[in-house]
Amino acid sequence: MAHIITELLDDTEISHYLDGVVDSAAIRTVHELLPDAGGWIGTKDNAIAIEEGMSERCLLKYELWDAHPPLLRSWDRTWDGSLRLTSGKVFAVSGYSGEEFYGQEFNLGRRDGIWNLRVYRKALGHEEFTPQLVSFTLLKLQFWPGWRMT
């Protein structure tokens, strides 16, 4: 059974348009990346583009697992994949009105590795207060060692 090694709830509220999550060694790479055909996630080395253009505010939680975590079914969307990270330290990046904003850094504890990744998305709403009105999105990113890591 898989277990969480460490986690971080980033208390930096991402306002106005999350661009994605990047490795600290390659901050600019997220701007070169577009989401995949599914329309909301795209990856390449050191960058995870997350399309959240409809949500004005996002909160992110990062989790590091020792193995493949169990699937959570209560979230709106889920994406699975893998990517290579140079420093093993990641943080959120957003841009608005020509300025960039950064979230808290989450340290995965290993450099130069392939990481498996699952991203969950949930748009908050309650009764008649639909997700479009509330415009607040939660994102959970779960990392666990990829096939090249031991």
What's the pLDDT tens digit per position in 41-79?
988 899 998 887 667 788 999 999 999 999 999 998 999
Residue 3 has pLDDT above 70, yes or no: yes
Residue 148 has pLDDT above 70, yes or no: no
**What's the pLDDT at 37?**
59
The ranges assigned to domains in the chain are: 4-145
Neighbours of 150 (CB within 10 A): 4
CA distance 9 to 147: 26
**Single-letter amino acid code for the residue at 133:** L
What's the pLDDT tens digit per position in 18-34?
888 999 988 766 666 66
**Single-letter amino acid code for the residue at 15:** S
Task: Provide the pLDDT confidence category of residue 150 given band limits of 50, 70 and 90.
Answer: very low
Kindly state the tokens that stand for 27: 């901050």
Burial class (CB in 10 A: 0-12, 13-18, 19+), 39: exposed
- Confirm if 140 and 51 have CB atoms less than 8 A apart: no
CATH number of the domain located at residue range(s) 4-145 in this protein:
2.60.34.30
